[in-house]
Amino acid sequence: MRFVHDTLPQRVCFGSGEAAANVGNEIGNLGASRVMLIAAPAESDLADTIATHLPVALRHDDVVMHVPVEVADRAREAAAQHNVDALVSVGGGSTTGLAKAVALTTGLPIVAVPTTYAGSEATPVWGLTEGAKKTTGTDHRVLPKVIVYDAALTMSLPVEMSVASGLNALAHCVDSMWAPNADPVNAAFAAEGIRSLAVGLPRVVTDPMDLDGREHALYAAYLSATAFASAGSGLHHKICHVLGGKYNLPHAQTHATVLPYVLAFNGPAAPDAERRIAAAFGATSALDGLVALKRELNAPRALADYGFAEDSIAEAAEAILPSVPPSNPRPVTAADLRALLRAAWSGADPETVF
């Protein structure tokens, strides 16, 4: 066995019902006294529960998915005007993403309080959108100094969004198995993430207030993002990156829909990954495990349901092709991508596509 693995410097506090106290302590540890508290309107009540323990200089709720540059600019100006010295984000990946955009140009430390399973909090990856083009980059200034996980804050996440977001986390795990920097450490995180999501998500669907189910999903979200941060973007993320940026598709639902087709395509060419994913699901094959879980969760099925048009398939395939990692377990042609996208567009049975 031979590998090089980077571990990112981050403190992680996990405790249900403890977010307010943990964020207060961590802001104290950072020596901050003028906090910019970022939370979208839907996350405002959650942020209220945390604000009471903080020296808040500014609350900011102008959050938009995929962080349009003008939204980032407004947040940066507000941070400068109020002379803030730390950022606290309470919300999903869009909110974390806005805090990252501010940190990217200011170097301000972030304490991230995630309320979905998107996992942005554990990566040094930022994203900005200009027009229909999403640009991402890696910069250690945007990696939150501290993550405060509190599963009680995820109880209000609607079941449909919980499922889509949980499958976004699952996609981090699966893609980490063959991404350019895949190694045994991130594969171990990914496998445990799959196992924990397969335990937690069905419980969340049965009872959205099941704290144990929510904790399993949130713990898995952290593992999945840590695996993804270290392994990098594989074929699945390259596909979803283009679909999200170019066609403004919803992030989590796009990941949830595309994943089985990427697994059907890559799985047979990646026997180790196939075996580990299957074992994590406790299934006879990786794809069987994923398909059965998606069925149980009544998960997003077809890109057509989210506004992706059939006549965009060829154009999207051409846009994705140059970004396919050369290390993908099998070569990828434009025709392969068209077949994959057509199947994902219609929600075809993934077992029959390749």
Q: How far apart are CA 88 and CA 56, in angstroms?
A: 9
> What's the closest the beta carbon of residue 118 comes to ligand NAD, in angstroms?
3
> What's the closest the beta carbon of residue 306 comes to ligand NAD, in angstroms?
13
Tell me which H or E stretch contains 53: none
Let me know: does 220 contact 200? Beta carbons within 8 Å. Answer: yes
The residue among 231 and 252 lying less far from ligand NAD, judged by its C-beta, is 252
The residue among 195 and 251 lying less far from ligand NAD, judged by its C-beta, is 251
Residue 147 forms beta bridges with which residues?
A: 12, 112
Q: How far apart are CA 152 and CA 50, in angstroms?
A: 12
> What's the closest the beta carbon of residue 332 comes to ligand NAD, in angstroms?
22
> What's the closest the beta carbon of residue 235 comes to ligand NAD, in angstroms?
17
Q: Is 124 exposed, middle or buried (0-12, 13-18, 19+ CB in 10 A)?
A: middle
Gap between the terminal Cα atoms of the chain: 32
Largest CA distance in the chain: 58
The residue among 226 and 278 lying less far from ligand NAD, judged by its C-beta, is 226
Let me know: does 22 contact 13? Beta carbons within 8 Å. Answer: yes
Residues that bind ligand NAD (CB under 6 A): 40, 42-43, 46, 65-66, 91-95, 97, 115-116, 118-120, 123, 125, 127, 153-154, 156-157, 161, 165, 168, 251-252
The residue among 182 and 287 lying less far from ligand NAD, judged by its C-beta, is 182
> What's the closest the beta carbon of residue 100 comes to ligand NAD, in angstroms?
7
> What's the closest the beta carbon of residue 245 comes to ligand NAD, in angstroms?
9
Pairing between β-strand 35-38 and β-strand 86-91 as defined by DSSP bridges: parallel
> What's the closest the beta carbon of residue 335 comes to ligand NAD, in angstroms?
28
The residue among 240 and 339 lying less far from ligand NAD, judged by its C-beta, is 240
The residue among 123 and 196 lying less far from ligand NAD, judged by its C-beta, is 123
Residue 125 forms beta bridges with which residues?
A: 138
Q: How far apart are CA 291 and CA 294, in angstroms?
A: 5
Q: How far apart are CA 127 and CA 142, in angstroms?
A: 10
The DSSP code for 42 is G
Residue 86 forms beta bridges with which residues?
A: 35
3-state percent helix, strand, coil for the chain, nearest multiple of 5: 60, 10, 30
Q: How far apart are CA 301 and CA 110, in angstroms?
A: 35
User: How many other C-beta atoms can be found within 10 angstroms of the C-beta atom of residue 172?
Assistant: 35
> What's the closest the beta carbon of residue 331 comes to ligand NAD, in angstroms?
27
The residue among 19 and 161 lying less far from ligand NAD, judged by its C-beta, is 161
The residue among 97 and 350 lying less far from ligand NAD, judged by its C-beta, is 97
